[in-house]
Chains A and B, each alone.
Chain A
């Protein structure tokens, strides 16, 4: 069983739609949860980071963590064509531990 499972996609949505991305994980030791965004032929870049359970909002992006269910989500509101990218969830066991465990990524296309 993989440590981190991510909905494979791909997702294609019209501009303005809400995008919902999800990951589940098996290791309860994960404490830190991140979403990275990767544009084609580029490296991943950090989008959002949360610690333990709860919600975090940053502009059009909301990250949710439910540790009891070992489930994390990313929501993108009012999606734009510029949001078209691959979204990767990532997790870490300890603070300052950048040995991240990644999901396989979900490719999102927002149609104008």
Chain B
């Protein structure tokens, strides 16, 4: 079974440009999450989709970030315009909707974003 896949693995852009990150969750996982780790800091929650609906976007830093999950399958996270402080590793994760909590989020390998 394929895991969570993310693309691109690394993106280098200049301040003011736009970048779109893509995440393909594990097939059958309705829950999709975006997390971010900036240099030297902890991994922080950005938002949560259940199928195509945004369940919680309380972690989104500002309106330069736009996440979508059309059709409830893959998701994209767009940063426009990118700022220097947006540099970091963006992780996508998915989980099954189980009755019992297992603590298990399945993470992708991350998309490293460098803004120059």
Chain A contacts to B: CB under 8 angstroms: 2, 4, 6, 32, 34, 41-46, 49, 51, 88, 90, 92, 95-105
CA distance A97 to B105 in the complex (A): 10
17 contacts between A and B (CB under 8 A): A34-B103, A44-B91, A44-B105, A45-B106, A46-B105, A49-B101, A49-B102, A90-B103, A96-B101, A98-B105, A99-B33, A99-B48, A99-B58, A100-B43, A102-B43, A103-B42, A105-B42
CB <8 Å contact, B33 and A98: yes
List of 4 A-B pairs having minimum Cβ-Cβ separation, nearest first: A43-B107, A49-B103, A95-B101, A34-B103
Closest approach, in angstroms, between the C-beta of A41 and any C-beta of chain B? 7
* CB within 8 Å for A44 and B107 given contacts A98-B31, A98-B33: yes
Chain B contacts to A: CB under 8 angstroms: 4, 31, 33, 40-45, 48, 56, 58-59, 91, 93, 95, 97-98, 100-110
CB <8 Å contact, A92 and B110: no
Q: In the complex, which residues of chain A have a beta carbon less than 8 angstroms from the beta carbon of B91?
A: 43-44
CA distance A102 to B45 in the complex (A): 9
